[in-house]
Amino acid sequence: MEPWHIGEILIRKKLIDWEQLEDALNEQKRTHEFVGEVLIRKQYIPKFLLFKALAERHAMSFVDLSHMFIDPRAVERVPRSVAVKYGFVPIGIQENILVVGMSDPRAALPGDEIAELAGVSKIKVVLCTPDAVAVAIGRYYDGQNVLVSG
């Protein structure tokens, strides 16, 4: 069985209607953006709901980092350069598994290497919004209280 397209998931969850999806698909043909980007830009759906649907689409958990405790001990195990290079933020350690938040469900993450670097048995990836990942990296690695709208 082929996985659902993001537009189908959003319609099934009643987050958008067929007219909004059709409008976004027509716009996508013109702009070559992702359908989700068009839906957000047109304010048909908030970014966090799109990412919750993307997480479902890719069989991942979604985590809202603005309401999540990020364990500084997890952050200390991964150098900032590695987190920035691969676009993730360490969130916590559960039973020798490093939980990391990423904003791209299709991104290639060298899990075995990062697990070895962090001294854990493996990595578990959860999906977060790009803004939340950027804010968390700024806050936990650079000591900045970065505010990003969106």
pLDDT, tens digit (0-9, with 9 covering 90-100), for 88-100: 999 999 999 999 9
147 belongs to a structural domain: no
The string of pLDDT tens digits covering residues 21-64 is 999 999 999 999 989 999 999 999 999 999 999 998 888 999 99
Residue span of the structural domain in which 82 resides: 65-142
Give the pLDDT confidence of 123-150 residue by residue, as tens digits: 999 999 999 999 999 999 987 544 443 4
- The pTM of this model reads 0.80
Q: Report strand pairing: 122-127 vs 97-102.
A: parallel
Does residue 1 sit within a domain?
no
23, 53: one domain: yes
Candidates 83, 79, 69; CA nearest to 125 is: 83
Of the candidates 18, 15, 24, the residue with the CA atom closest to the CA atom of residue 52: 15
Average confidence (pLDDT) over 99-108: 91
> Domain check: are 28 and 77 in the same one?
no
Q: Are residues 129 and 75 in the same domain?
A: yes
SS3 90: strand
> Does residue 48 sit in the same domain as residue 101?
no
Tell me how many domains the chain contains: 2
- For residue 13, tell me if it sits in a domain: yes
